[in-house]
Amino acid sequence: MFKNIFAIYAALVMSVGFSGNAMAKDAHSYANLDAVSSRHLHLDLTVDFDQKTLSGYAEYDIVRHDAAASSFIVDTRDLTINRVEVLGENWQPTTFTLAAPEAILGAKLTIALPDDAQKVRIYYRTSPEAAGLQWLTPQQTAGKKHPYLFTQSQPIQVRSWIPIQDTPALRLTYSARIKTPKDLFAVMSAVNDPDAVRDGDYDFIMPHKIPPYLVALGVGDLHFKAMAGNTGIYGEKYILAAAAAEFADTFEMVKVAEKLYGPYQWGRYDILMMPPSYPMGGMENPMLSFITPTVVAGDKSLVDLIAHELAHSWSGNLVTNGDWNDLWLNEGTTSYVENRIMEEVFGLERAKMEKALSSQGLLRELKTLEDVDTSLYVDLAGRDPEKAFSGVPYIKGQLFLLYLEEKYGREAFDPFLKQYFTAHAFQSMTSAKFITYLKANLMDKHPGVVSMDKINEWVYDTGMPDDSPRPTSDIFARVLQDQQDWLAGKISLKDIATTNWTVHQWLHFITNLPEEMPEKMMRDRMTQLDEAYNLTASRNNEIAHAWLLQGLKHDYQAILPRLKVYLPSIGRLKLIRPLYKQLATTPGGLAMARKIYRPARPGYHPSAQKVLDKILGE
């Protein structure tokens, strides 16, 4: 009986584009999708770099699920709402209430809905402090001549630049008209036309239903360089050639992923090169991943980031976590798929090293996390969903899928995962739904391999299961053996065959330098390493990061000049936050950190400023 009601309900809601089939209400949105949901958004916005505002309107096609519903509720943050109109027989003004803002959720906007309303149009303006927007001055870009604007909507910042039902339980298509200063070019997570006339007036259509956190916009002195197949690069001119060379394997990655997990559903896969202040590595905005320039290393050593954002085209963008409690369904599955892509394109040894590096990193990180935050499913009600972004959803999630792969074998697990993506394409997913699907389509077909208790332990228990996979690499074992022999004085550095070491080997070597060695001895060791390998001067941002961090931990002062250049030049939090944090552990270090930070601060993203202000007590 119940089962039937759910089935009918699910069919109903899916047919109108809101796939929250019988899910609990998202604790991070005021929207009441059960009553009224939006199925298409049209944006008409003017980008004003002087005022640092977007202004215009957002228009929704709405669907009623409750005939008695008399209001349409959307999420906002720091928006000025000028007026709201509804379309019934014709357009007419309607009343609305903007509630007092709540710290995490922002301000609930309740719009009165006449019985015959089909569309709602909200005229509004963003605040210069909008959390989801970064406004860069020309000085903060590489070209120095034009400003740059980009959005970051995940997890709940889209409401700071669009009044919207901001929950991933909703899916909608969108279109947009974006007006910019005449000499700038706009791109979105939608169909982009690289040949559009550069007249400051741009149109976009996203024909596929996406969750609101995937609406994205970039504006700047952007140009385009095509790569193979359906791939290409947008960015400031200075980086196009280098990025196209670095990411030349992108189309190969698309083909490999298609072979494993079914057709790429989004048309083109382009990359937008972000300014250096971009706070993240990448963001999987559909059709157009946003990517940090810090991975353009010259040797393709950091392109797992591209594999990751591309993988989201299946895990995350096609099958989407229903709310942020289930982030692991996006990020864990993506980390797993990412590594499978890397294995196909760059070989098993590299894939193994990348798995070993990240799982080692997770084990280190677990020691620093509160126990409650170490389960895959987390209850984030009352908390900022940003808090869910630790290594747990990523790497514990990846290890869970790896565990299943090892138990069932790729012959069974690969088709299962492919079918999972196909069966739930353009829908949202929860942990409970995932487990039900897993049981019916993998576990029950191969009884006795993995118990339901085990699955529940992985998803709902804290810490790591005892029998979790422990990725290793023979190449890494060699690196550590050499390191130990050198530290023990059995061999000298010139006995270690580092000439052909990859970035991964260097990272493994550096991050595993002993912590408990007396400081003076460690400083001597670091001096020797620097003399032999010039690590302080490394141009690889990951190697430099790992080395600078060790330098700070062991008070190896020769790194300081490099640190003072490194920190202000990079906005990617993963690379700079640990360094600021380490500096802040001593009074002298904290003073130095503040001295570096103050002039650098305006160049960082608002979200990065927030994090760093806190670390440095600013």
Active site positions, annotated:
309, 394
Least separation in angstroms between CB 451 and ligand BES: 30
- Cβ(567)–Cβ(578) below 8 Å: no
Of 281 and 469, nearer to ligand BES (C-beta) is 281
Which residue has tokens 């990272």?
Answer: 507
According to CB under 6 A, which residues from 143 to 202 bind ligand BES?
154-155
CA distance 431 to 376: 9
List of residues contacting Zn ion (CB under 5 A): 331, 334
Q: Is position 283 an interface residue for ligand BES (rule: CB under 6 A)?
A: yes
List Cβ neighbours of 169 (8 Å cut-off, separation of 6 or more). 18, 19, 20, 23, 26, 33, 211, 322, 323, 428
State the binding string over 103-142 for ligand BES (x if CB under 6 A, else -).
----------------------------------------
Residue nearest to ligand BES (CB): 281
Question: In 210-228, which positions are buried (b, 16+ CB within 10 angstroms) versus exposed (e)?
Answer: bbbbbbbbbbbbbbbbebe
In degrees, rounded to 5, the angle at the alpha carbon of residue 565 between the alpha carbons of residues 614 and 579 is 35
CA distance 343 to 345: 6
Q: Is position 574 an interface residue for ligand BES (rule: CB under 6 A)?
A: yes
CA 67 to chain centre: 38
Q: Is position 309 an interface residue for ligand BES (rule: CB under 6 A)?
A: yes
Q: What are the CA-CA distances from residue 616 to residues 518, 539, 551, 593 (Å)?
A: 28, 27, 19, 7
Least separation in angstroms between CB 394 and ligand BES: 6
Helices (H), 163-298: 237-246, 250-261
Pick one of Zn ion, ligand BES, none as the site partner of residue 545 (Cβ within 5 to 8 A by kind).
none
CA distance 417 to 124: 42
Which residue has tokens 């490099």?
Answer: 562
- Cβ(341)–Cβ(354) below 8 Å: no
Pick one of Zn ion, ligand BES, none as the site partner of residue 85 (Cβ within 5 to 8 A by kind).
none
Least separation in angstroms between CB 323 and ligand BES: 14
Q: Is position 85 an interface residue for ligand BES (rule: CB under 6 A)?
A: no
Q: Is position 389 an interface residue for ligand BES (rule: CB under 6 A)?
A: yes
Q: Is position 238 an interface residue for ligand BES (rule: CB under 6 A)?
A: no
CA distance 149 to 48: 10
Q: Is position 542 an interface residue for ligand BES (rule: CB under 6 A)?
A: no
Least separation in angstroms between CB 293 and ligand BES: 13
E strand segments, 412-551? 427-429
Of 160 and 334, nearer to Zn ion (C-beta) is 334
Pick one of Zn ion, ligand BES, none as the site partner of residue 280 (Cβ within 5 to 8 A by kind).
ligand BES
Least separation in angstroms between CB 254 and ligand BES: 17
Of 251 and 389, nearer to ligand BES (C-beta) is 389
Least separation in angstroms between CB 335 and ligand BES: 7
Pick one of ligand BES, Zn ion, none as the site partner of residue 542 (Cβ within 5 to 8 A by kind).
none
Q: Which helix (H) or strand (E) holds 208?
A: strand 201-210
Which residues sit at the interface with ligand BES, rule CB under 6 A?
154-155, 280-284, 305, 308-309, 312, 331, 389, 394, 574
